[in-house]
Amino acid sequence: MTMHWTTFTAITLAAAALGSTPARAASPDYCAPTEDMDPLQLLRQTSLDLRGRVPSYDEYEWVRGAEDPQAAAESIIEDMLESQEYFDQIREYHQALLWGTMDESILDSLFAAQRRILPNGSGNWRVTNSRRLYRGDLLDCLNQEQTEFDAQGRPIPIQTYADPVCAGGTCRREGFVRVHPYWAPDTEIKVCAYDAQLAEVGVSGVACSTYRGNDRECGCGPDLAWCGPEDTGPETVAIRDSLAQEPARIFEWVVREGRSYLEAFTTDRTFVNGPVAHFYRNNTGTDIINRGGAVAYDVKMGSVPALPWTDLDTWVPVDREGPHSGAFTTMGYLVRFASNRSRANRFYTAFYCDPFVPSADGLPPEEAEPDPNLRERTGCSDCHQVLEPAAAHWARWRTGGTYGFFAAEDMSFQRSRPDCECGDALGVTCSAFCSTYFVTADNAGDEEFGRYHGMPQAASWLEPTDLANVEVGPAGLVDTVQERDQVAQCAVRNLAQHLLGRELEAEDLQWLQQHADAFAATDYDYTELVRRMVVDERYRTIR
């Protein structure tokens, strides 16, 4: 992909000019370098930056009493670069770069509707979206223990009655059973017996462990493994936080192992702890392509270990399947940034240091009939000429708060999908799947529908040369020398600004390039970059 270096340089110089003027005008000497720090000051500053804490009393005393305090401080700093605290800081730093969070402001419901279990006022847990399926109406189970089951282990209703509002004319209600849920194995909760069913295969013949639709003989399985707690309790926070950490864990691994920093953008490897492993093993995968609104699709995870859900602190490697691209196809990244444009925008901002910003002259007045192609629309083209082909790198990944990969047989960028050539104007009702991901008569204007009807929405207005981005995925954003150099420059820039506590200025650009060249010469070893930064004169003479 061709990068726009002119824009990058112009933004850098402009920001430097704007950022440096006020301080210089106030006092030319205010930001001038001081003498080198004394060893104790250097130790404190470096410890805060590399370990997130001040040095210990013993470390201070050892440096004070050393024959050569400077050498003693340097020795401790070198040890810091091999410490667990340093790698924790690396992870947290990259999680901040990735804007890594999956709280309720990003995703209101983590589990699919027919896998979402929560307690009612009587403390009986049930899947609210399955109440009519199980009982014939929007009814919970009775608040009494279920004691009778048939030969297949299915609950025998305690109460049955006829009512025209009931599905099939009959409603039925069972009692509760006692379960130790996977998210709190030392706790016993009451679960409505239909919701707690253990059958492996439902009446439809589909495995109950697969995200299913309407199968009244499927429940949440052993220990409720196939469902998820949907409330604001610590168990929900734990799984959200763990999924949000996954992208940054990849960066931590790359740095810890001394691998090329670029592997974080391309590797198939990821890391899972107990909650993440449980989620991928039990809450992903469906054989219904047009299921809507669920975070439960084919995510190409490979073989996921069976870690206990309660094991929050053990993170083990998992080698995913082909289409993955490092941190940028994890659930934590793709759900955090729910559209392909937002995924590309964050990548450009955080890892190219090339944010998409409007023209300095501002946006022109809106046209009476704006061009539907954002690459051509007045006021939009400056950014979208680059943003649209960049976003195409994620075109095979689901959007809108769902997570999953579209194989070529489900989504072609060369031909239309016949069942998605639909819309009210054509007298053909569109499925939720078509309405969400394909160009239909209902979601597109006349020009777009005329050109792309039945094609993926992500294909609209792409140039033929952009289609390669679709197939290579996000890894294609670091596959040229120019792109790798821009990632290196950006990594240096971000780290320098973090350590120096200021924006880089115009006179820093040559220094920046020297560090970027040295970073590349070590095959992008990030710890070597950190080491060079903390011995650099600029770092050791800051106030």
pLDDT tens, residue by residue, 191-208 = 999 999 999 999 888 888
The pLDDT, as a whole number, for residue 1 is 45
Categorize the per-residue pLDDT at 299 as very low, low, confident or very high, splitting at 50, 70 and 90: confident
The confidence score (pLDDT) of residue 530 equals 99
Q: How many Cβ atoms are within 10 Å of 150's Cβ, its own excluded? A: 8
CA torsion sign for 517, 518, 521, 523 is negative
Band (pLDDT 50/70/90 cuts) for residue 256 is very high
pLDDT at 437 over 70: yes
Q: Sorting pLDDT into bands at 50, 70 and 90, what band is 183? A: very high
The H-or-E segment that residue 350 falls in is helix 340-351
User: Does the structure show a pLDDT above 60 at 241?
Assistant: yes
How far apart are alpha carbons 355 and 337 in whole angstroms? 15
For the chain, the first-to-last Cα distance in angstroms comes to: 41
The pLDDT tens digits for 414-425 are 999 999 999 999
Q: What is the pLDDT of residue 213?
A: 63
Pairing relationship of beta strands 316-319 and 269-272 according to DSSP bridges: antiparallel
* DSSP summary character for residue 394: G
Query: Quick one: pLDDT at residue 289?
Result: 56
Residue 205's pLDDT is 87
Tell me the average pLDDT across 74-86: 98
- Mean per-residue pLDDT for 317-336? 95
The pLDDT score that the predictor gives to residue 127 is: 94
Chain centroid to Cα 301, Å, comes to 14
For residue 264, count CB atoms less than 10 angstroms from its CB and return exposed for 0-12, middle for 13-18, buried for 19 or more: buried
pLDDT at 348 over 50: yes
Please give the share of the chain, as a percent, with pLDDT higher than 70: 90
With a cut of 90, say whether residue 388 has pLDDT above it: yes
Question: Band of the pLDDT at 231, cuts 50, 70, 90?
Answer: low
Range scoring the smallest mean pLDDT among 201-205, 436-440, 475-479 = 201-205
pLDDT of 429 above 50: yes
Query: Residues of 12-23 as b/e, b for ≥16 C-beta within 10 angstroms?
Result: beeebeeebeee
- Residue with token string 């120096």: 500
For the cut 70, the answer to whether the pLDDT of residue 543 exceeds it is no
Of residues 211 and 454, more confidence is placed in: 454
Angle at 473 between CA 433 and CA 400, to 5 degrees: 35
Task: Please report the pLDDT score of residue 204 as a whole number.
Answer: 83
- Out of 112-116, 139-143, 252-256, 533-537, least confident range: 112-116
Residue 453 has pLDDT above 60, yes or no: yes
Give me the torsion for CA of 123, 127, 131, 133, rounded to 10°: -150
Per domain, the residue ranges of the chain are 1-32+480-537, 116-229, 234-334, 371-475
CB atoms inside a 10 Å sphere around CB 295: 24
Alpha-carbon distance 435 to 438, whole Å?
A: 6
Distance CA 120, CA 160 (A): 21
Q: Which of 128-137, 147-156, 401-410 has the lowest mean pLDDT?
A: 401-410
Does the pLDDT at position 290 exceed 60?
no
The C-alpha atoms of residue 379 and residue 358 are separated, in whole angstroms, by: 8
* Half-sphere exposure for 161 (CA within 13 Å, toward CB): 6
Average pLDDT score over the chain: 90
Specify the DSSP element, H or E, that contains 111.
none
Predicted confidence (pLDDT) at residue 9 exceeds the cutoff of 50: no
For the chain, the residue count is 543
Mean pLDDT calculated for residue range 31-50: 83
Written as six digits, the tokens of 366 are 């809106």
CB atoms within 10 A of CB 255: 22
List strand residue ranges (DSSP E) for 23-144, in order: 116-119, 124-127
Confidence of residue 186 (pLDDT cuts 50, 70, 90): very high
pLDDT of residue 296: 55
Q: 9: closest CA among 243, 354, 291?
A: 354
* Residue type, position 124, single letter: N
CA distance 65 to 277: 49
* Residue pointed to by tokens 């960066």: 251
pLDDT at 368: 87
Does residue 11 have a pLDDT over 90? no
Residue 2 pLDDT more than 50?
no
